[in-house]
Structure 1
Amino acid sequence: GYDMRVAPEFKIFTNALSAVVDPKRFDPKSFVEFMGDVCIVPPNSFALASSVEYFRIPRNCLTICVGKSTYARCGIIVNVTPFEPEWEGYVTLEISNTTPLPARIYAHEGIAQVLFFTADEGDECEVSYKDKKGKYQA
């Protein structure tokens, strides 16, 4: 696996609007932007961030990300969707603080491990993320 690092730009969720969270109509005003080497995620809240690394996934590869134990042992859960074949870009990280206390996230340090799975020769995907013109393609 590869230890992916978190970039120093964060979007911290705020409930100041007291709105219902709707994934189909998410209000960007629900986030407060922050830039710095240490981000404080409020209790029972989350932040979005990006990876330092830019990824180009080959057509015969799929990845899964898992959070690093340093954060998991503190109640910090990192969620990342799989990188599909031929996806490329900076990775969006969803960082959840499941604790009743504020939590520190350190930029430029490892936050998740990327596991790479390659297909056997001849078993490549028929339609890649790039072929589908995926919504989050760089």
Structure 2
Amino acid sequence: ARSVEYFRIPRNVLTICLGKSTYARCGIIVNVTPFEPEWEGYVTLEISNTTPLPAKIYANEGIAQVLFFEADEECEISYADKKGKYQRQQGIVLPRMLRETD
């Protein structure tokens, strides 16, 4: 899935996205890697149904929550500085694995 919100993370902020309790109690697990300082884009949400039963997830219900952690200092090397491969993603982005020649 893709988040409704577009994020622009400041250079002195790190975020963690966690699945919400109600869905987790139903066996729906949300996984998202941290949003590094200066990452920008829509969030790709990895959603797993850990039960054998089908489940429906509706748009705009709030399946996850984002925690923002502000540092006293800016990071030395940000996601933008590293030219991260998921920078400014607009939609659901599949894994971009490194090839052996990269």
TM-score of Structure 1 vs Structure 2, range by shorter chain = 0.7 to 0.9
Aligned Cα RMSD in Å? 0.6
Among 10, 33, 36, the alignment partner of 1:58 is: 10
Q: What is the Cα deviation at residue 132 of structure 1?
A: 0.3
Task: Give the C-alpha shift of residue 97 in structure 1.
Answer: 0.2
TM-score, normalised via structure 2 length? 0.84
Q: Which amino acid aligns with 1:52?
A: V
| Structure with the bigger percentage of strand | 1
After superposition, the C-alpha distances for 1:10-33 in whole angstroms (9 at most, x for unaligned) are xxxxxxxxxxxxxxxxxxxxxxxx
Q: TM-score, normalised by structure 1?
A: 0.63
Correspondence 1:115 to 2:67: yes
Aligned length: 88
Mapped partners of 1:107, 1:70: distance in 2: 15
Structure 2 portions without partners, runs of 5+: 89-102
Unmatched 5+ stretches in structure 1: 1-48
The correspondence for 2:55, drawn from 103, 119, 122, is: 103
* Identical-residue share of aligned pairs (%): 89
Alignment of 1:13-24 (within 5 A): none
